[in-house]
Amino acid sequence: MKLKIGISCYPTVGGSGVIATELGKLLAERGHEVHFITSSVPFRLDRVYPNIYYHEVEVNQYSVFQYPPYDLTLASKMAEVAKRQKLDLIHVHYAVPHAICAILAKQMLNNQLKIITTLHGTDITVLGYDPSLKDIIKFGIEKSDLVTAVSNDLVEQTHELVPTNQQIETVYNFIDERVYTKREVGELKKHYNITDDEKVLIHISNFRQVKRVPDVVKSFALIQEKINSKLLLIGNGPELAVARQLVRELHIEDKVLFLGNQKHVAELLSMSDLMLLLSEKESFGLVALEAMACGIPVIGTNAGGIPEVIVDGVTGFLCDVGDVECVADKAVQLLTDISSYEAFSVRASEHVKAVFHSDLIVSQYERLYQRVLEK
């Protein structure tokens, strides 16, 4: 059955917005009518797509308001779009404020709207500790018709931090396999002054403290002592200056490239040999999936949902948070044994296809939508 689906998410760079947008695109390809209700065009919605509509949430800047009332405007827009377009359901990504706004919209429509909420990580693992938000997050979870989380670990953490009887289903993240595949990068390496005999390590994040970017730099400093290599740091955020300073202190400026936010990540992954994702909190780690899909093994931390994405010793390695010696040892081991590296690379892309294929995950969401509508 073809559905009319509303989607609300943060439209800027970030895993939750990426998943929400990619899901909307794939649902539209399957013939559903998808309505994005967001503050600006989601950044992955980079062209016109059939079956996709965009409704901007425009916040009134009345001088009497000390703070622009984004949440109320979003709720009101959700109700307006749901009524006009006869939406079957609204799927919100990230609990705060999206789930709460959807509940308000539902009330405005005399309960004639189903709400699916997907928890993405920091909405629970960071905001769940905030006494000023905890109760409203719980309210958002309990009043949703169905709640999903992106890993089993996030389901467990939600039950610990925001105790509730609401059932929470794990639906893993996915990638668009047509985009995340190993590509011919030709001259790109030369453009970055990377020679054929150099290995390339890559880290991609929003450079927040939880990502522990200094650990990435420290690990790389140890790795480059043994292996001729370069480190690509992709992204932007509060820890960028800290990382730059550490690179200077460790005298590895000529080995580390800071490339800022990038749109065409698959190309940068395709010229890389190994990804490092050393976060202390990570509900899933979408970048690890993107890397593995391109055949790049990942060394990650034993944190959050990362062990559900990286199979230790099979598609990459896991080390304890902060154990940069472990990271360096595993990286040197992987990058020096060429035949074993090839096996890791093949298994990484096969694992993504087997467990996280977009067909599997989008179908799982479709089944959940049906279940909610039949309730």
Q: Which residues bind ligand GMT (CB under 6 A)?
A: 14-16, 19, 94, 120-122, 125, 150, 173, 206, 210, 281-286
> Considering the complex, what minimum distance in angstroms separates the CB of residue 339 from ligand GMT?
31
Q: Hey, is 248 helix, strand or coil?
A: helix
- Measured from the CB atom, the residue of 16 and 117 that comes closer to ligand GMT is 16
- Measured from the CB atom, the residue of 100 and 194 that comes closer to ligand GMT is 100
Show the beta-strand stretches assigned E in the chain. 4-8, 33-38, 52-56, 89-93, 114-119, 146-149, 168-170, 199-204, 229-234, 256-260, 274-277, 298-301, 316-319
Find tokens 């294929």 and name the residue.
357
> Considering the complex, what minimum distance in angstroms separates the CB of residue 227 from ligand GMT?
28
Side-chain-side CA neighbours of 39 within 13 Å: the count stands at 16
Find tokens 């480190």 and name the residue.
231
> Considering the complex, what minimum distance in angstroms separates the CB of residue 28 from ligand GMT?
20
Identify the sign of the CA torsion 23, 56, 263, 207: negative
In sequence order, the β-bridge partners of residue 200 are 230
> Considering the complex, what minimum distance in angstroms separates the CB of residue 355 from ligand GMT?
15
- Measured from the CB atom, the residue of 121 and 295 that comes closer to ligand GMT is 121
- Measured from the CB atom, the residue of 8 and 224 that comes closer to ligand GMT is 8
End-to-end C-alpha distance for the chain, whole angstroms = 16
Q: Which of 122, 120, 118 is nearest to 146 (CA)?
A: 118
- Measured from the CB atom, the residue of 124 and 231 that comes closer to ligand GMT is 124
> Considering the complex, what minimum distance in angstroms separates the CB of residue 299 from ligand GMT?
16
- Measured from the CB atom, the residue of 69 and 237 that comes closer to ligand GMT is 237
Q: Which of 4, 19, 309 is nearest to 176 (CA)?
A: 19
